[in-house]
Amino acid sequence: MGQSIPVVQEPIEQRFPRPSVMGVVNVTPDSFSDGGVNFEPQAAVASARRMYAEGAAIVDVGGESTRPGSAGVEADEELRRVVPVLEGLAGEVPVSIDTSKAEVARRALELGAELVNDVTALRGDGELAGVVAGSGAHLCLMHMQGEPRTMQSDPRYEDVVSEVAAFLEERLAFAVAAGVREELVCLDPGIGFGKTVEHNFELLRRLDELTALGRPVVIGFSRKSSLGKLLGDPQATTGSVAASVGAAVAAYERGATILRAHDVREHVEALAAARAALA
Binding positions for ligand HH2, rule: CB under 6 A: 24, 26, 28, 31-33, 62, 65-67, 98, 117, 119, 140, 142, 188, 190-191, 218, 220, 260
C-alpha to C-alpha distance for 201 and 191, rounded to whole angstroms: 9
229 is catalytic: no
Minimum separation from the CB atom of position 2 to ligand HH2 (A): 27
195 is catalytic: no
Residue 86's SS3 state is helix
Residue pair 52/87 in contact by the 8 Å Cβ criterion: no
Catalytic residue among 224, 229, 254, 275: 224
Nearest to 97 by CA among 49, 73, 61, 125: 61
Minimum separation from the CB atom of position 106 to ligand HH2 (A): 19
Minimum separation from the CB atom of position 160 to ligand HH2 (A): 15
Residue pair 102/127 in contact by the 8 Å Cβ criterion: yes
Nearer to ligand HH2, 31 or 135 (CB): 31
Q: Cα separations (Å) of 28 from 43, 101, 157, 171, 278?
A: 12, 16, 31, 28, 37
Let me know the angle formed at the C-alpha of 227 by 158 and 240, rounded to the nearest 5 degrees.
165
Minimum separation from the CB atom of position 193 to ligand HH2 (A): 7
Measured from each CB, the residue nearest to ligand HH2 is 220
Nearer to ligand HH2, 161 or 273 (CB): 161
Nearer to ligand HH2, 33 or 91 (CB): 33
Nearer to ligand HH2, 67 or 106 (CB): 67
C-alpha to C-alpha distance for 189 and 167, rounded to whole angstroms: 9
Residue pair 221/262 in contact by the 8 Å Cβ criterion: no
Q: What are the catalytic residues?
A: 224, 260
